[in-house]
Amino acid sequence: MACTEHPAGDRVVLVVDDDEDIRALFSAILRRAGYQPRLASSGRQALEQAGEQVPDLVISDVSMPGLSGLEVCRALKAEPRTAATAVLLVSAHAGAQDRAAGLRAGADDYLTKPIAPAVLLEHVESLLESRA
């Protein structure tokens, strides 16, 4: 269920993944649900975009060349302007220690790939509603 104060269409979700197919898939899922996806192919590009327009939510892959999703999360949470931005980390690594590392980095949630579209949207909506 979308939050009535902030319709999905007003919500910007920054998708960060070095895999073009994942970016396209997540973008399509979010767009169909009424969100405004923005795409970044690297951690550095994600931080630049977040600095230009603070997103409501960042969905970031953990394992990327250059800045990892963990580093992106730490940087976002350390910057006052983006500290309140919800961060959902996604990874193929399903171990408890992987999830714990993501949460220690400041992530608000952690999902393991592959992710069913309904599950992704459920977590997105939950995180955004908790920020409303």
For the stretch 68-102, pLDDT in tens is: 999 999 999 999 999 999 999 999 999 999 999 99
pLDDT at 45 over 90: yes
pLDDT of residue 2: 39
Give the pLDDT mean for 24-28.
Answer: 98
What is the signed CA dihedral for 55, 86, 115, 1, rounded to 10 degrees?
Answer: -90
Architecture of domain 8-131: 3-Layer(aba) Sandwich (3.40)
User: Domain locations in the chain?
Assistant: 8-131
pLDDT of residue 12: 97
**% residues pLDDT > 70 (the chain):** 95
**Residue 23 CA neighbour count, 13 Å, CB half:** 14
In terms of Cα–Cα distance, which of 74, 70, 38, 68 is closest to 56? 38
Tens of pLDDT, residue by residue over 46-60, are 999 999 999 999 999
pLDDT of residue 8: 75
Higher pLDDT, 2 or 33: 33
The DSSP output letter for 10 is: G
Report the alpha-carbon distance of residue 13 to residue 36 in Å, rounded. 6
Is this prediction's pTM over 0.85? yes
Give the list of residues 6+ apart from residue 47 with CB closer than 8 angstroms, or none.
67, 72, 75, 76
